[in-house]
Amino acid sequence: MPMAHTATPQERTGGLTATEHKLANGLRVVLSEDRLTPVAAVCLWYDVGSRHEVPGRTGLAHLFEHLMFQGSAQVKGNGHFELVQGAGGSLNGTTSFERTNYFETMPAHQVELALWLEADRMGTLLTALDEESMENQRDVVKNERRQRYDNVPYGTAFERLVAKIYPEGHPYHHTPIGSMADLDAASLEDAREFFRTYYAPGNAVLAVVGDIDSAQTLAWIEKYFGSIPPHDGKQPPRDGALDGIIGTELRETLHEDVPSRALMAAYRLPQDGTRAADAADLALTALGGGESSRLHNRLVRRDRTAVAASFGMMRLAGAPSLGWLDVKTSGEARIPEIEAAVEEELTRFAQEGPTPEEMERAQAQLEREWLDRLATVGGRADELCKYAVLFGDPQLALTAVRRILEITPEEVREVAAAWLRRDNRGVLVYEPTTAAAEADHDDSEGAQR
């Protein structure tokens, strides 16, 4: 077989191993054998997400992801779903800021089918893509937007905060779901051009994990993907790097038909792939990651001003990560007293850092979350793809926990002091209205954004 494979030595960490290979057309392949259960995951990451979208076409990456399930040269209509499910597999695709992923988890004896299906659409999608699918999936995605964001209390908070902390024109200023107006504006030609630009073998990483024979799997990958022509039309995404903290608090109060007052905030945090990002994850876990966190103890248990208080991290590799604070008030509690308490806790944490017990708890929680992701072949395949696509090295997945366990309390304190500041956040305050008329007004404003 004419291949250009460059296998790297196996690294063994906690039973997880991975080998890397590359086809002549540029497709990168990561394989990981695990024979304990007769299942295997096929996971394909394309290095394209909403950050690659151009003005006026927000939501296109995600809409396009839907079109990938509408058939290709040898797969009719919804055949991709039917064939995988008929083989006892499960499947989906998701779109985020930084990547689009497609995955099939299969009974081990059906892995070849999943590879054939992924290759068929990578190589021939445009022979099947038509106006009918485009119109249909545009409506489906608009209903997805309504169901997940527009018809849900506080449903647009995330996109509003993202728009605040990543400025106008920044590639992360908008979220993957996009706006209704842009979804309406997307044309079939836009979709074709998107495919030609981004759906190239050289812009993808394929991971196959589970009960597989690596040599056989590699031979199948070469057979099905090997003849897909390389192409190289991709432009790098606009630079997402931002210069440190925001420098000012960006604030908005919304009067909407929501069930309670809420304080939400988004902080810029260090980019993923750095020690500072791991330290930030630990800081947010200690502050708001569980039932023993500082904000939960303060607001929910002691002050009783909140029904729920959490602080979580969305890691981003191509822009500052995002820290997401979410407090829903209890009873008649008001936002200023909650804000003052949050500020007090963040300030104290920035001065004193985590206690040894808090460090131990935060590390134990993040370790368990990691083990949860590794509990399925699909989870492992996704992590290998992530590190290959975003950081150029799938082997980094194998040492991710170790890196978190190496962080010191002082690093956690430092990251909190440097980033968890009022002048480095966007704030959204919700004040409930009961009048439906006012809610209508707010909705229409939202739709015009």
Partner 1 sequence: MTDAISPTMDLHPRPAGGEPKPWAFPAPERSTLANGLTVLRSHRPGQQVIAVEVNLLAPLTAEPAGQEGIATIMARALSEGTDKLDAEEFAAELERCGATLDAYADHPGIRVSLEVPASRLVKALGLLADALRAPAFPEHEIDRLVHNRLDEIPHELANPARRAAMALSAALFPADHRMSRPRQGTAESVRRIDAKAVRAFYDAHVRPSSTTAVVVGDLTGVDLDAALADTLGVWQAEPAVPFTIPPVTADDTGRVVIVDRPGSVQTQLLLGRVGTDRHDRVWPAQQLGTYCLGGTLTSRLDRVLREEKGYTYGVRATAQVLYSAADGTGLSLLAIHGSVASDVTGPALADLWQVLRTLAEEGLTDEERDLAVQNLVGVAPLRYETAAAVANTLADQVEQELPDDFQAQLYQRLAETGTVEASAAAVNAFPANRLVTVLVGDREQIEGPVRELGIGEVTVLSDGDGDGDGAGETEGAAADEV
Say if residues 281 and 404 touch (Cβ distance below 8 Å). yes
Q: Taking the CA atoms of the chain, what radius of gyration do you get in angstroms?
A: 23
> Which residue from 3, 11, 17, 149 is in contact with partner 1, where contact means CB under 8 A?
149
Residue 177 near partner 1 by CB under 8 A:
yes
- Which stretches of 270-429 are DSSP H helices? 275-288, 294-295, 335-352, 356-374, 377-391, 400-405, 409-419
Residues 64-83 that bind partner 1 (CB under 8 A): 65-66, 69, 73-74, 77-78, 81-83
Tokens of 89: 């597999």
**Minimum distance from residue 266 beta carbon to partner 1 (Å):** 11
State which of residues 3, 11, 17, 153 lies at the interface with partner 1 (CB under 8 A). 153
Burial 281-292 (b: 16+ CB within 10 A, else e): bbbbbbbbbeee
Tell me which of 10, 136, 187, 253 binds partner 1, using CB under 8 A: 136
CB of 247 to partner 1, least distance (A): 25
Instruction: In whole angstroms, give the CA distance from residue 233 to residue 9.
Output: 32
Among 32, 95, 271, 321, binds partner 1 (CB under 8 A): 95
Neighbours of 26 (CB within 10 A): 16
The DSSP 8-state label assigned to residue 97 in this structure reads S
Q: Is 166 in the site for partner 1 (CB under 8 A)?
A: no
How far is the C-alpha of 99 from the C-alpha of 389, rounded, in Å? 8
Please identify, among the stretches 115-123, 242-250, 276-284, 339-347, the one whose residues bind partner 1 according to the rule CB under 8 A: 115-123
Among 8, 55, 76, 88, contact with partner 1 (rule: CB under 8 A): 88
Q: Look up residue 154 and give its amino acid.
A: Y
- Residue 249 lies near partner 1 (rule: CB under 8 A): no
Residue that the structure tokens 């990456």 belong to = 61
Q: How far apart are CA 27 and CA 342, in angstroms?
A: 48
Helix (H) or strand (E) holding 208: strand 204-210
Q: What is the largest CA-CA distance in the chain?
A: 71
For 318, phi then psi, to 5°, come to: -110, 10
Identify residues 357-416 at the interface with partner 1 (CB under 8 A). 357, 360-361, 364-365, 367-368, 371-372, 374-377
Of 11, 33, 116, 255, the residue at the interface with partner 1 (CB under 8 A) is 116
Record the tokens describing residue 379, joined without a space: 């989870």
Residues in region 287-326 near partner 1 by CB under 8 A? 290-292, 297, 300-301, 304, 307, 314
Nearer to partner 1 among residue 312 and residue 418 (C-beta): 312
For residues 382 and 411, which CB has a smaller minimum distance to partner 1 in the complex?
Answer: 382
- Residue 124 is a binding residue for partner 1 (CB under 8 A): yes
86 near partner 1 (CB under 8 A): yes
